[in-house]
Structure 1
Amino acid sequence: MKKVIAVVGPTAVGKSALGLKLAQKFNGEIISGDSMQIYRGLDIGTAKDSKEELSQVPHHLVDISDVTDRYTVKDFQSKAIQIIDNLSQENKNSFVVGGTGFYLNSLVENMNLGGVAEGNDELRKELLDVENKSGINGLIEILKNEDPQSMELIDLANPRRIIRAIEIHRITGESMSNQRDGNKWAKFYLIGLTDDRAKLYDRINKRVDKMVDMGLLDEVRPIYDNRDQIPQAKNGIGYKELFPYFEGEADLKSCLEEIKKNSRHFAKRQLTYFRNQMDVDWYNISDEPDYQSKIESKITNFLGGYDE
């Protein structure tokens, strides 16, 4: 059975740097699991690896689409599976690196996505709000009304399973019961990086400041100027928040603060998604200074173990 390693976690935690080191050590190549890094020209705002870093290890699903294109989780899934198949035939290891949870989940769960399907952060927030306000019964009521077929398949005492079923149904238009093809096509080891909240948020804030120094405004300006022809890329964090500045409706400082705030909220949603919906081996990079050596040891065992 194919074996795939993924590096996940909140924005700015250091996924790309770790993925690069691991791919170099374990004869691997990197598959970007980020929904925005596929776009050519969106380099600074998406925290894309530098040209030097991209040249150290082959990267896939980076700079493959124009900003005027639509890109769905189905596109990602089909392309990623083909890349993993090709690398396996070359006796190379696949490292999926990125923070778009639904993209990675489409691989791990082997979802049958049919036509187009896109992740939706607002939907996840809506369902988590329902859980906070109405508890698990509120989620069960939504699932009962929208996808009763899936109620027979999942643990109704587990809110993360209910949320996943509702999410899949709303995104794909089909029952979760129709999403899995029943074949476990690959074995996954998911590595999760996290950090103390204050340290992570400080890192996010500093990264936004660095992006400005690198020329973020020059990168965003053509996106703003051509926003009517850009269906998805214009909505990325780090881009949409600057539109009021170009429109003369807000000053630069307030727009940058909005980027920082939205990035922090996004990091929180990422952690919630991965913790609640996926089987991740977590490492706190502040509490475990030797986390990389521990991860390398586990990867060695994972790659050398038997196939189920």
Structure 2
Amino acid sequence: MKQVLAIVGPTAVGKTGLSIKIAQKFNGEIISGDSMQVYQGLDIGTAKIRPEEMRGVKHHLIDNRTVQETFSVSEFKKSVDHLVEEITQRGKLPIIVGGTGFYLQAVLDNLNLGGSDDATNKNRLKWQDFAKQHTQEELWNELNKVDSKSATSIPVSNVRRVVRALEVFDNTGHPFSEQENGHPKYDSLVIGLNTDRGQLYKRINSRVDEMINEGLEEEARWLYRQVDVKQANKGIGYREWPEYFESQQTLQETIDQIKLDSRHYAKRQLTWFRNKMDVNWFDLIKDSESLKMVESQIEQWRK
């Protein structure tokens, strides 16, 4: 089986820095596992790695979609499967780095996402249109009718996940909550980074302040002015700005909301990785010796 390394965890815990060190040491190429970093022009709010930070390591799935395009989990899985084949043929180690849990799980567990691309897109558009014409509760009720288990775990307000669950049911004929994994295609090792909650939240708040100083407002305003944006403007760091641009809230309220959303997302990320994936956890922030432990574990796995 082809080997695939994944580096996961919430935002602001050092995944990017670790990934470069590991790629250099183990002759790897990096595949972005962040569903927002595919979008051209969204650099600051997605904490996209800068060219000078790559240090010669080849990166994939960055800047290959316009903000008018979508990037589904099935598209991600297909792209990663293709890249793993290419990278392995070059004699290098594929390293997936990111925090979008479901996207990573789809690859590592070889999830059966069901349906052709045309059928998938048709069903997604059907439920997106339904969501525009009905209340969030009415959309959620549609899911509850066919998959009450998923409905129980998905908030009424999370329209995107509700649509996704309905789409999977239409594609496969089976509830999202009962989707069976295929046989894993890869020999995978998952390295998770985390730190204590107080430190994590402090780092997230600081990261948002840095983004503001780097020009996040201007980047978000550019996105706000784009037309026919379907998915890119739903991301944290972008979705909080329209009310400010429309003079309905202050700049400080907007910044505070980004920080709050980012902290909540980090909590959800950790819950996902702990419940859905077999992760080997390390704290590089508090324990500098953890890097040696990470490298040792990878060396053992590579043998």
Relative to the length of structure 2, the TM-score reads: 0.81
How far 1:146 moved relative to its partner?
A: 2.6
Q: Distance in 2 between matches of 1:71 and 1:276?
A: 25
Give the structure 2 partner of residue 202 of structure 1: 202
- In the TM superposition, 1:1-308 aligns within 5 A as 1-54=1-54, 56-113=56-113, 114=115, 115=117, 116=120, 146=147, 170-173=166-169, 174=172, 175=174, 179-181=180-182, 183-226=183-226, 228-304=227-303
With over 3 angstroms needed to count, the CA separation of the structure-2 counterparts of 1:286 and 1:53, relative to structure 1, is closer
Q: Distance in 2 between matches of 1:84 and 1:269?
A: 27
Q: Is the 8 A contact 1:33 1:96 kept in 2?
A: yes
Q: Is the 8 A contact 1:196 1:286 kept in 2?
A: no
Q: Is the 8 A contact 1:6 1:188 kept in 2?
A: yes
Q: Distance in 1 between matches of 2:100 and 2:179?
A: 22
How many residues in Structure 1 have an aligned counterpart in Structure 2? 265
Q: Is the 8 A contact 1:147 1:169 kept in 2?
A: no
**Higher mean C-alpha displacement, 279-288 vs 228-237:** 279-288
Considering only aligned residues, what root-mean-square deviation do their CA atoms show, in Å? 2.6
Q: Is the 8 A contact 2:14 2:284 kept in 1?
A: no
Q: Is the 8 A contact 2:20 2:55 kept in 1?
A: no
Question: Helix, strand or coil for the counterpart of 1:240?
Answer: coil
With over 3 angstroms needed to count, the CA separation of the structure-2 counterparts of 1:108 and 1:217, relative to structure 1, is same
> Structure 2 counterpart of 1:300, which letter?
E
> Structure 1 counterpart of 2:17, which letter?
A
With over 3 angstroms needed to count, the CA separation of the structure-2 counterparts of 1:168 and 1:230, relative to structure 1, is closer
> Structure 1 counterpart of 2:290, which letter?
Y
Relative to the length of structure 1, the TM-score reads: 0.80
Q: Distance in 2 between matches of 1:65 and 1:54?
A: 20
How far 1:220 moved relative to its partner?
A: 0.8
How far 1:75 moved relative to its partner?
A: 0.6
Give the structure 2 partner of residue 151 of structure 1: none
Question: Helix, strand or coil for the counterpart of 1:212?
Answer: helix
> Structure 2 counterpart of 1:172, which letter?
V
Q: Distance in 2 between matches of 1:235 and 1:146?
A: 25
How far 1:279 moved relative to its partner?
A: 0.4
Q: Distance in 2 between matches of 1:222 and 1:232?
A: 15
Question: Helix, strand or coil for the counterpart of 1:37?
Answer: coil
With over 3 angstroms needed to count, the CA separation of the structure-2 counterparts of 1:188 and 1:168, relative to structure 1, is farther
> Structure 1 counterpart of 2:46, which letter?
T
Question: Helix, strand or coil for the counterpart of 1:192?
Answer: strand
Give the structure 1 partner of residue 139 of structure 2: none
Q: Distance in 2 between matches of 1:196 and 1:282?
A: 12
With over 3 angstroms needed to count, the CA separation of the structure-2 counterparts of 1:58 and 1:286, relative to structure 1, is closer
With over 3 angstroms needed to count, the CA separation of the structure-2 counterparts of 1:27 and 1:251, relative to structure 1, is same
With over 3 angstroms needed to count, the CA separation of the structure-2 counterparts of 1:82 and 1:143, relative to structure 1, is same
| Deviations 1:12-48, CA, capped at 9 Å, x for gaps | 1111111111011100000000000000000000000
Q: Is the 8 A contact 2:36 2:232 kept in 1?
A: yes
Question: Helix, strand or coil for the counterpart of 1:202?
Answer: helix
Give the gaps of 5 or more residues in structure 1: 119-141, 149-158, 160-165
Q: Distance in 1 between matches of 2:255 and 2:284?
A: 27
